Amino acid sequence: MMETERLVLPPPDPLNLPLRALEVGCTGRWELLNVPGAPESTLPHGLPPCAPDLQQEAEQLFLSSPAWLPLHGVEHSARKWQRKRDPWSLLAALGAPVPSDLQAQRHPTTGQILGYKEVLLENTNLSATTSLSLRRPPGPASQSLWGNPTQYPFWPGGMDEPTITDLSTREEPEEEIDFEKDLLTVPPGFKKGVDFGPKDHQAPVPGLLSLSCLLEPLDLSGGDEDESEASGGPGADTALASPCSTPLVRASSLEDLVLQEASTIVSPLEPPKPPPQEQWAVPVDVTSPVGDFYRLIPQPAFQWAFEPDVFQKQAILHLEQHDSVFVAAHTSAGKTVVAEYAIALAQKHMTRTIYTSPIKALSNQKFRDFRNTFGDVGLLTGDVQLHPEASCLIMTTEILRSMLYSGSDVIRDLEWVIFDEVHYINDAERGVVWEEVLIMLPDHVSIILLSATVPNALEFADWIGRLKRRQIYVISTVARPVPLEHYLFTGNSPKTQGELFLLLDSRGAFHTKGYYAAVEAKKERMSKHAQTFGAKQPTHQGGPAQDRGVYLSLLASLRARAQLPVVVFTFSRGRCDEQASGLTSLDLTTSSEKSEIHLFLQRCLARLRGSDRQLPQVLHMSELLRRGLGVHHSGILPILKEIVEMLFSRGLVKVLFATETFAMGVNMPARTVVFDSMRKHDGSTFRDLLPGEYVQMAGRAGRRGLDPTGTVILLCKGRVPEMADLHRMMMGKPSQLQSQFRLTYTMILNLLRVDALRVEDMMKRSFSEFPSRKDSKAHEQALAELTKRLGALEEPDVTGQLADLPEYYSWGEELTETRNMIQRHIVESVNGLKSLSTGRVVVVRNEEHHNALGVILQVSSNSTSRVFTTLVLCDKPVVSENPRDKGSATPDVPHPDDLVGFKLFLPEGPCEHTVVKLQPGDVAAISTKVLRVNGEKIAEDFSRRQQPKFRKDPPLAAVTTAVQELLRLAQAHPSGPPTLDPVNDLQLKDVSVVEGGLRARKLEELIRGAQCVHSPRFPAQYLKLRERMQIQKEMERLRFLLSDQSLSLLPEYHQRVEVLRTLGYVDEAGTVKLAGRVACAMSSHELLLTELMFDNALSTLRPEEIAALLSGLVCQSPGDPGDQLPSTLKQGIERVRAVAKRIGEVQVACGLNQTVEEFVGELNFGLVEVVYEWARGMPFSELAGLSGTPEGLVVRCIQRLAEMCRSLRGAARLVGEPVLGAKMETAATLLRRDIVFAASLYTQ
């Protein structure tokens, strides 16, 4: 009874429990104690006081208990204090920091202050809008990821960051004059001035013979020995020595001395020795094993379940040393292992890694793979931003370029940037982005380049090494891990339906026997009119019915050989769909596989709305996938492409019909690859596949660890391709990495807004300028040596009778250049080439012959590079006496007869002849004389006499007659035979030829009237002048190569800057104005979008109308906008075209090559109605009837349009247009819905 009563007692109140809450210290931590009488706090004076909450106090006084307020005159109870207005406080700005400080200079021993010196201070008031230094403080947290278009980028690596001293010397320094050494003695414009030197030793007048110098060798002075000792003693002043102090050879007469001076030999100009080559690209040997790998790296940052290959270990060793590497490996060799180790290494170092890819789909796939491996991985694309704080960020290269230009603070923590699929730099449209990013990366960032095998990997790495001033280690694989076998498939006749003709085996040997067997099989089948996949004629292509039969037989054969899965590459989206749809009777999956495919489809499609699940493409693809077939191209919806890729990677898709994009970086190998054709359309014309394209797609065959070899099959439609074409495609070298660098307005504006960076520096460092800029160090050293050599040369005498010597030299050089220009026009003209026929007498001038007469014997039939077989007079056999002939035939000092005429070569001894092959440039003049010769007979006789046993045979009579005729002609016209006039005889009416002929005649008159040639000292002074002028010319050439003027894109840069200046984006000084800063925020079509914004062409439209108009800037499929558009959209289209036309006209006026029609033609308004209805809420299933554009292209257009709306929203906020910014935000929201913006399956 007592226990029952105890059970029914109510629980004690919480306040009555024997517990006490005790605050431990002042950290806010509490403990519960069941000790009665415990203290309330461990602090000596109890709990610290706390101020009451102001909000609660205000609510209690003014809202909860208003009783204290008076009943009447409430207005008197409120008190306020009038603030004194100070408008000038709005204009107050913080003072600029002091750029310098005064530093005391003290005596080193006594410490006495000797004076004060102004010292420039570094790092004063650094900010993201004033400095490129990494020492500047970080920007706001909201801009840490993307940066801001108004911020400066960080200083690019490889460029010399200017110091305070450099910046101070850029300004105009005050001229400091030394009044003892720097005073001029010759007034500007004068040839001579006043000599303020000592008058003790009078020097002879330059240009006149010194009598004392001439008499000194004759020993006629009879002077005192003491005087000679005094003058020649060790204390003599060498600076005042006369020119005649140099030792002269003893002579017996004045005439000999004059002749010795005239025959002074000037050493020819020798090129300076090049400096030792700098090796920036270091090839790594991957043939020898890395035995001490685990000793060098006892605790690797990442470990795999398999043993890495040799090339992977070599790359990892260099990554541990923080080196930059370029891994050019075969397809499926395992380049991703290098990227994975770099990511793990960055996580170990607590830094960040950026992984860039050329396409968005590859970014999504790598995000899934790396997230499963590392976890801490983020994704940044145009429309997705996942985990931006992660240590590894995956993005497209365009986003990384935007972050670099905008000064993102992510770059501070960056250790590695991984460029995947670097061979994508050859893309004409987007290749420039790779070069921009590589140039703009800061110095502390290391680079990892992953690429397929390319022939010029060392050259590309050398460019990056010189660019970043660090060594790049090039690691290449020797062979594929899974070798390939290439076959031909000729048809589906009963006899050969399962026969494959081996063309290229796994060892790389080309089998001609298999090729001829395929040709015979094709001919036999056509002769019997057997069943073929093509038409009866070999040149026609097969239709869908024939294709269906071929693929059914081929796939049945491959299935019997267990060579599935297979990827069929077809270079047309329409043919992909047709071929997959035609195989209605083919079912390659088991019941369990069908169930797995069905469940996967249901799970993936559950995220779509009901109408989107019933789209025709979704239903058709679901039916194909259940039978093991798939289609993959740009016209497929993105979510369906991802479903196909995931099912293919699981082995559930047995046959995949895909276009070339499937081979770009997607690591999804198959057992077999089939080429539907070896020809593709590249946007302008049909052509054969390039070796690099073929290798990229064929590399999908062969799964590492599963297949011993990969199988590649080429379908022969109509006829078997030529053996040479197959050999070139299969065994040719892949395409080289080529620069696609071009100037864009965004690049120019982003660099112009930063004073320390120049567009010229960006152009200098581009891959296109690398061949001409890689020898800059050698050019600088050569220029320094030539400058030193020029200073040591003696000035030529140009006084008196030699006053016109410089003009004479320049006249001769100009006459030679003018004649060469005229001769180039002659040999390039039709009439000029016609005149160079058999029997024509010409003047030959090349390295072996100088103004020698010759007669043309034969003319090659090749129209692109003509070769003239010519009989030429010579002194002795050219083979044995070539150096002496060349030395004696070239005059050292040209006289007027040498310059005005040709001064034909005349043999000194017996006349000899030779037969040579001449290029058009070797013909110095075409004479009016034509000889009757038997060219073939003379050439055969000369060739026969070159053999040892016939060498002493006499020449034929035809040869002797031709030689005698040429010799007689040379003796009759020693100054050159009569030549064909380019204007009158050859009918050349080019302005440059006519003006060149007139100028040549004028120069000949000037040369004949020169007075310097009559001076006895003319030869010696001419040689001195020529050596000086040659050195100066070489120095000018080197300075030009080192200057900005040698940049190939410099004229276009000036033209584009003029366009920006005309449109008001930059001012006359090159400062970027507001419109230019707005254009920097645009990702594409920067000029057109900025002009539309500043013209208020978008502000009056509704959001859906703005989105519809802007679709013309991102749509890639041309088409007509249609007649059903609202009038507002029609007017908007015309206004956009008018603005584009105005910009195009400005570009043409400034000299750019792009015409107005080409610029306006870049706009495609074919999807205006589709985008307009989509923004108004129409379901995607109803959009198919509005346009014939594939669904995948429609989705891509809308996605790019949403990105453009966001960039316009940011630009509107920058310019202060809140209304337009709100409209662009609304437009982006209207576009982002349903299947178009369904989340990627790789990110879930």
pLDDT-based confidence at 324, cuts 50/70/90?
Answer: very high
Q: Tell me which of 515 and 166 has the higher pLDDT.
A: 515
Reported as a pLDDT band with limits 50, 70 and 90, residue 75 is low
Instruction: Transcribe 623-642 into DSSP letters.
Output: HHHHTTEEEESTTS-HHHHH
Between residues 37 and 171, the one the model is more confident about: 37
Measured CA to CA in angstroms, residue 821 lies from 455, 826, 990, 1036 at distances of 38, 9, 12, 21
Mean pLDDT for the stretch of residues 1130-1138: 92
Q: What is the mean pLDDT of the chain?
A: 80
Do the Cβ atoms of 1116 and 1197 come closer than 8 Å?
yes
Q: pLDDT higher for 1009 or 888?
A: 1009
Write down the pLDDT at residue 139: 84
Alpha-carbon gap, residue 822 to 825, rounded angstroms: 5
- Does 742 have pLDDT greater than 80? yes
Neighbours of 1124 (CB within 10 A): 8
What is the average per-residue pLDDT within 165-171? 54
CA proximity to 431, closest of 159, 657, 736: 736
pLDDT at 485 over 70: yes
Q: How confident is the model at residue 708 (pLDDT cuts 50, 70, 90)?
A: confident
Say which DSSP state 206 is in. T
Q: Is the pLDDT of residue 440 over 90?
A: yes
- Span 927-945, pLDDT tens digits: 888 888 888 888 888 888 8
23: which strand partners?
30, 41
DSSP three-state, residue 281: strand
Q: Is the pLDDT of residue 194 over 60?
A: yes
pLDDT of residue 185: 75
pLDDT at 252: 47
pLDDT at 237: 44
Tell me the average pLDDT across 1226-1239.
Answer: 88
Hey, what's the torsion of the CAs at 1185, 1188, 1191, 1195, to 10 degrees?
A: -90
Is 574:681 a contact under the CB 8 Å cutoff?
A: no
Model confidence pLDDT, tens digit, residues 386-410: 999 999 999 989 999 999 999 999 9
Neighbours of 723 (CB within 10 A): 14
Q: Which tokens hold the place of 1152? A: 């750019």
What is residue 888's predicted lDDT score, i.e. its pLDDT? 40
Q: Give the pLDDT mean for 456-466.
A: 91
- pLDDT at res. 435: 92
* 8 A C-beta contact, residue 713 and residue 489: yes
Share of the chain above pLDDT 70, in %: 81
Q: Does 347 score more than 90 pLDDT?
A: yes
Q: Which residues pair with 516 in a beta bridge?
A: none
Q: Token pair of 804, please?
A: 């016109």
Per-residue model confidence (pLDDT) at position 587 = 87
Has residue 249 got a pLDDT over 50? Answer: no
The pairs formed by 616-623 with CB atoms below 8 angstroms and a separation of 24 or more are 616/1184, 617/1191, 620/581
Which spans in 656-717 are helix H? 691-698
Indicate the pTM of the whole model.
0.75
Q: Where are the beta strands (DSSP E) in 685-813?
A: 686-688, 710-715
Give the helix ranges, DSSP H, for 1095-1217: 1103-1114, 1127-1149, 1156-1161, 1168-1175, 1180-1183, 1191-1215
d(CA 679, CA 687): 5
Those residues whose C-beta lies under 8 Å from the C-beta of residue 272, and which sit 6 or more positions away, are 781, 782, 785, 786
pLDDT at 73 over 60: yes
Structure tokens at 277: 């080559």
Check pLDDT > 70 for residue 230: no
Q: Are strands 29-33 and 20-24 parallel, antiparallel or unpaired?
A: antiparallel
At residue 24, the pLDDT reads 57
Q: What is the predicted pLDDT for the residue at 345?
A: 94
Q: If you average pLDDT over residues 13-17, what whole number do you get?
A: 59
Distance of CA 749 to the CA centre of its chain: 18
In tens, the pLDDT along 1183-1197 reads 877 777 888 888 888
Per-residue pLDDT averaged across 129-152, rounded? Answer: 85
User: CA–CA separation, 138 vs 42, rounded Å?
Assistant: 43
From the CB of residue 36, how many other CB atoms can be counted at a distance below 10 Å? 8
Q: What is the pLDDT of residue 314?
A: 92
pLDDT at 316: 94
Could you report the per-residue pLDDT of 795-842, keeping only the tens digit for each? 888 888 888 888 989 998 898 888 888 888 887 888 888 888 888 898
Q: Could you say which DSSP state residue 532 is in? A: -
Say whether pLDDT at 220 is over 80: no
Q: Is the CB of residue 442 less than 8 Å from the CB of residue 470?
A: no
1214 vs 248: which has the higher pLDDT: 1214
**pLDDT value at position 419?**
94
Task: State residue 601's pLDDT score.
Answer: 92
**Structure-token match 């140009």, residue found:** 798
Looking at residue 606, its pLDDT comes to 87
Rounded CA-CA distance 344/350 in Å is 10
**In this predicted structure, what is the pLDDT of residue 46?**
57
* Calpha distance 582→355 (Å, rounded): 41
Average pLDDT over residues 781-792: 89
The answer, yes or no, to whether residue 115 has pLDDT greater than 80, is: yes
Question: What single-letter amino acid sits at 589?
Answer: T
d(CA 761, CA 1039): 16
| pLDDT computed for residue 19 by the predictor | 63
Contact (CB, 8 A) for 679 and 602: no
Q: Are 679 and 453 in contact (CB under 8 A)?
A: no
State percent of the chain over pLDDT 90.
22
Contacts with 421 (C-beta within 8 Å, 6 or more apart), sequence order: 357, 358, 362, 450, 451, 452, 664, 665
Whether the pLDDT of residue 979 is over 60: the answer is yes
Task: Report H helices in 469-590.
Answer: 512-527, 544-560, 573-582
> What are 570-601's pLDDT values in tens digits?
988 888 888 888 888 888 889 999 999 999 99
Local confidence band at 1062 (pLDDT 50, 70, 90 cut-offs): very high
Tell me the backbone φ, ψ of residue 716, rounded to 5 degrees. Answer: -100, 105
Measure CA 343 to chain center.
26
Q: How far is CA 808 from each of CA 803, 1013, 1204, rounded to the nearest angstrom?
A: 10, 9, 65
Which of these ranges, 252-266, 358-372, 411-425, 622-636, has the smallest mean pLDDT?
252-266
Query: Of 541, 616, 380, 804, which Cα lies nearest the Cα of 1180?
Result: 616
DSSP letter assigned to residue 562: T
Between the alpha carbon of residue 426 and those of residues 73, 383, 911, the distances in Å are 83, 26, 58
**Per-residue pLDDT averaged across 411-434, rounded?**
90
Q: Which has more pLDDT, 748 or 499?
A: 748
3-state secondary structure of 324: strand
Q: Which two tokens stand for residue 431?
A: 């290749």
> Distance (Å, rounded) from C-alpha 66 to C-alpha 312?
80
Q: Which of 8-12, 667-671, 1054-1058, 1117-1121 has the lowest mean pLDDT?
A: 8-12
Report which of 1145, 1128, 1137, 1146 is spatially closest to residue 1164, judged by C-alpha positions: 1137
Q: What is the pLDDT of residue 599?
A: 93
Quote the CA–CA distance of 536 and 715 in Å, as a whole number: 16
Q: Which residue has the higher pLDDT, 60 or 880?
A: 60
Give strand ranges (E) for 383-471: 385-386, 392-396, 414-419, 446-451
In this predicted structure, the answer to whether residue 40 has a pLDDT above a threshold of 70 is no
Nearest 10 degrees: Cα torsion 142, 143, 146, 147:
180
What pLDDT was estimated at residue 175? 52
- Cis peptide, bond prior to residue 565, ω within 30 of zero: yes
Looking at per-residue pLDDT, the higher value among 804 and 246 belongs to 804
Using one digit for the tens of pLDDT, what is the confidence trace for 550-559?
A: 888 888 888 8
Asked if residue 1102 lies in contact with residue 1220, where contact means CB atoms within 8 angstroms, the answer is no
Compute the average pLDDT of residues 967-976. Answer: 84
For 265: left if phi > 0, alpha if psi spans -120 to 50, otherwise beta; the answer is beta
pLDDT for residue 622? 92
pLDDT of residue 1218: 87
The residue type found at 482 is V
pLDDT band at 1149 (very low <50, low <70, confident <90, very high): very high
User: pLDDT band at 330, cuts 50/70/90?
Assistant: confident
* 144 burial level (CB within 10 Å; 0-12, 13-18, 19+): middle
Report how far apart, in Å, the C-alpha atoms of 1027 and of each of 60, 636, 809, 900 are: 101, 71, 11, 22
Q: Tens digits of per-residue pLDDT, 643-690? A: 999 999 888 999 999 988 887 756 678 889 999 888 887 777 888 888
Token duo for residue 615: 């789209």
State the Cα–Cα distance between residues 892 and 894, nearest whole angstrom: 6
Longest Cα separation, the chain = 160
Residue type, 754: V
Looking at residue 74, its pLDDT comes to 59
Rounded to whole angstroms, how far apart are CA atoms 991 and 1075? 44
